[in-house]
Amino acid sequence: MIPQLEICAADIHSVHAASIGGAQRVELCSGLAEGGMTPSVGFVAQALKVPGLRVHVLIRPRPGDFLYSEEETELMCHDIRLMRQTGAHGVVIGALTANGDIDTALCSRLISEAGDMSVTFHRAFDLTREPLEALEQIIDLKCNRVLTSGCAPSALDGAKMLATLQKQAQERLTILAGGGVSPQNAAEIIEKSGVHELHASARSPLASDMRYKNQGVAMGAAGTDEYSRLTTDSAIVNQIVRAIHANS
């Protein structure tokens, strides 16, 4: 099976970088520093204009845990409808119960709203109480893939669990390995886990083109550099692509 790379993109520059670098798919989000949240519809519409990419959209209304209220559930359902109407190819969802199990009832509602879009269960999976049981529940929900680090701090650290999940899933669902994926470890993650899809942000600092700079004011946390941001680097994307295709 030919390896594939998904890029987590929080701005339109990252979407173009993913395309130029040779990725097959992007997961659009906002607020990457907080684990990612639902992006704007405008961002999704613009990303769909970039050629050669499948566009999936993260549906997450806030940072923090994955235990959602009824109001938050309605919010997510509304966002999924908007993303479907905009033309997104897929959505990325997930919800847990207070006991750390998959909230199958809530997820069923979200998946119903997705219609014929592809559905990925996101890294809420890595916070489940019983991962192997959770995987079966996600398969029963008819999700197309699950994004996971193998319940570890990084995909490389979780390679053994990823291999277990891959063996259990077989052809019923795709295991998408993410968490700390880089050009240096991408091939090793695939070799040790047996997965065929990787998820990475592939970011590097990008300096602002602003000539006038007021260094004394921060828009976010104190000390934030408003004149540099992390964004996907097409060269890093291409390095990962080349690494995972070297032995395929």
Instruction: State yes or no: pLDDT of 247 exceeds 80.
Output: no
Instruction: State yes or no: pLDDT of 225 exceeds 90.
Output: no
Task: Give the Å distances, CA to CA, from 166 to 2, 106, 132, 182, 193.
Answer: 16, 25, 11, 20, 7
Instruction: State yes or no: pLDDT of 54 exceeds 90.
Output: yes
- Between CA 11 and CA 181 the distance in angstroms is 19
Q: Specify the pLDDT at position 199.
A: 98
Which helix (H) or strand (E) covers residue 159, if one does?
Answer: helix 159-169
Instruction: State yes or no: pLDDT of 239 exceeds 80.
Output: yes
**Contact call for residues 65 and 116 (beta carbons, < 8 A):** no
Instruction: State yes or no: pLDDT of 1 exceeds 90.
Output: no
Q: Specify the pLDDT at position 228.
A: 84
Strands (E) located in 32-144: 54-58, 90-93, 118-121
Tell me the pTM. Answer: 0.94
Buried/exposed code over 61-86 (b: 16+ C-beta within 10 A; e: otherwise): beeeebebeeeebebbbebbebbbeb
CATH class of the domain at 4-245: alpha beta
Across residues 76-98, what is the average pLDDT? Answer: 98
- Between CA 182 and CA 172 the distance in angstroms is 27
pLDDT tens for 5-25 read: 999 999 999 999 999 999 999
